[in-house]
Amino acid sequence: MKWTWFHRLGSPKWFYQWAERWRGKCLGLGIVLLVLGFVWGLAFAPADYQQGNSFRIIYLHVPAAILAQSCYLGMGIAGFVALVWQMKLAPVFIKAVAPVGAAMALIALVSGAIWGKPTWGTWWVWDARLTSVLVLFLLYMGVIAIQNAIEDRVFADKAVAVVSLLGLINLPIIKYSVEWWNTLHQPATFKLTEKPAMPVEMWLPLLICALGSYLFVAGIAMWRMQTEVLNRERKSSWVKEKVVDYGI
Amino acid sequence: MNYRSFLKSEWLTLVRRKQDTINALLFFVMVILLFPLGVDPSKAFLEPASGGIVWCAVALSILMAVESMYKEDFNDGSLEQWLTSGLSLPYLVFLKVFVQWLVVIVPLLLVLPLLANMLFFPIEQLMVMISTLLLGTPALFFIGAIGSALTVSLRRGAVLMLLLILPLYIPVIIFATGAIRAAQSGMSYSGQLAILAAISLTALVLSPLMAALSIKASMN
């Protein structure tokens, strides 16, 4: 395996061109998978024997929750990379992904509340899992806030990297909250080591939804990163050429 | 500069710097989050305590918002412009506080039903909580405006301002939570609301004058 890709990732220009090629594919495939998964899950998957049709919100809730955590994990890693190797694209990644992750956390919280009303009889309980996801949302908002507050870009990048890295501590708490504490929230739907507890017709569309949202978010992230790269490299010659090509 | 252009520019500055408003809102949510996590997440505790929790969070986030309200104007010299503009300084202060109040209180009231529900506050009494907020928070803003004006020229004025102002917030908090508690136990609460309105009106009349005095003192 060649390691050149890792070095190349340090170059905004190379990344821009690479993202130009992959962005559309990721977005397209992601949307196709999402539509497929949602239609299958909402219309054709069998109803739950206890919860009836209300369980179907899982096809929105679980992918959003997974993505909210994955985005933060990515931001934490990018924060580490930014601080240790000072790669130019790591802060760009954090800046691009933070609002997307915040949106995912919000979707997870809201869909969870809507799901909780028929099954638990309440919109909200101060349960370990719910509260730690709320904290995750607040951490995202903190990252966005500090980004907007500091005008000096180099300092802002550093600060954001530190905050992202610090917030990683919340992820294991979210992950194990359902095992450490006795909670209302059910344990994880997917585990790498075991077969899911539900039948194939129920978890396969969920898996497709999750994969679809990963691809979709990856596409969105590339797109947002491209915009940010263009903004940051606006003084370099390749951006100028590119802009001139568009006739602006 | 006239009153209208002043009002417009104040409004535009606040609306364009959305992050400050969002920060006050996030702070509000986080203070509320501390109570169920730190004390007790059960309905038995939260339901009677919810009025007090919301009001403590509101008071703290308003302090946060008000603390730096003249900072920017002081740093870029706008405060001196106010003094030399020939307009009435108390009236300018009044307009500024009014805009601040509007920008903070509207988003706060929008998220309030959500948080009240999370604290198991009975939904039928939400209107009581909203009326205490509408009647009580102007007092918090106007009193805070004096403290902020007093400490504007100090390098580390924030803590000092909190120490000065927080004691003056206590009566408002007492009457507001008193009204909510009375409503929760089915008693009449109009007396407490009337006192809240009276405190706010007094603050509205007196505070711009005192804040103007403090600004003049700070500018020397």
CB A208 within 8 A of CB A40: yes
Å from B111 to nearest chain A CA?
Answer: 13
- The rounded mean pLDDT for chain B is 90
Tell me the two tokens of residue B157: 């004025």
Q: Which two tokens stand for residue B23?
A: 């920060």
Contact A148 B19 (CB under 8 A): yes
pLDDT-derived band at A189, boundaries 50, 70, 90: low
**Residue-level pLDDT at A185:** 77
Predicted confidence (pLDDT) per residue in B58-80, tens digit: 999 999 888 888 888 888 888 88
What's the pLDDT score for residue A124?
Answer: 85
Q: Let me know if residue A5 belongs to a domain.
A: no
**Mean pLDDT, chain A, whole residue set:** 86
Q: Do B36 and A126 count as a contact with CB atoms less than 8 A apart?
A: yes
Q: Is residue A6 part of a domain?
A: no
Which chain B positions have a beta carbon within 8 Å of A138's beta carbon? Answer: 26, 29-30, 33
Q: A83-94 in b/e burial notation, b at 16+ Cβ within 10 A?
A: beeebbbbbbbb
Q: Name the pTM for this structure.
A: 0.81
The answer to whether residue A1 scores a pLDDT higher than 60 is: no
Q: Please state the domain count of chain A.
A: 1
- Partner-chain contact A135 B33, CB within 8 Å: yes
Query: CA-CA distance, A45 to A40, in Å (whole number)?
Result: 6
Percent of chain A having pLDDT more than 70? Answer: 92
Q: Which domain holds residue A48?
A: 16-245
When divided into structural domains, chain B yields a total of 1
Is residue A3, in this structure, part of any structural domain at all? no
Please state the ipTM of this predicted complex: 0.71
Are B22 and A135 an interchain contact pair (Cβ–Cβ within 8 Å)?
no
Return the pLDDT at A108.
Answer: 94
Instruction: Report pLDDT for B152.
Output: 85
Question: What confidence tens digit (pLDDT) does each residue in A79-103 have?
Answer: 999 999 888 889 999 999 999 999 9
Residue A195 located in a structural domain? yes
State whether residue B13 sits within 8 Å of chain A by CB.
Answer: no
Range of the domain at B63: 3-218
Q: pLDDT by residue (tens digit) across A57-75?
A: 889 999 999 999 999 999 9
User: Hey, which residues does A52 pair with through a beta bridge?
Assistant: A48
pLDDT bin (cut points 50, 70, 90) of residue A192 is low
> Rounded to the nearest 10 degrees, how much is the dihedral formed by the CA atoms of B202, B21, B165, B49?
90
The helix/strand/coil state of A52 is strand
Residue numbers of chain B with a pLDDT score lower than 70: none
**Cβ distance of B22 and A141 shorter than 8 Å:** yes
- What does residue A186 show for φ and ψ, rounded to 5 degrees? -75, 160
The three-point CA angle B130-B133-B138 to 5° equals: 145
pLDDT tens digits for range A110-162: 999 998 888 888 888 888 888 889 999 999 999 998 888 888 888 889 999 99
pLDDT in tens, B93-126: 999 999 999 999 999 999 999 999 989 998 888 9
Contact B33/A at CB under 8 A: yes
Q: Looking at the partner chain, which of B23, B37, B117 has a beta carbon nearest the beta carbon of A131?
A: B37
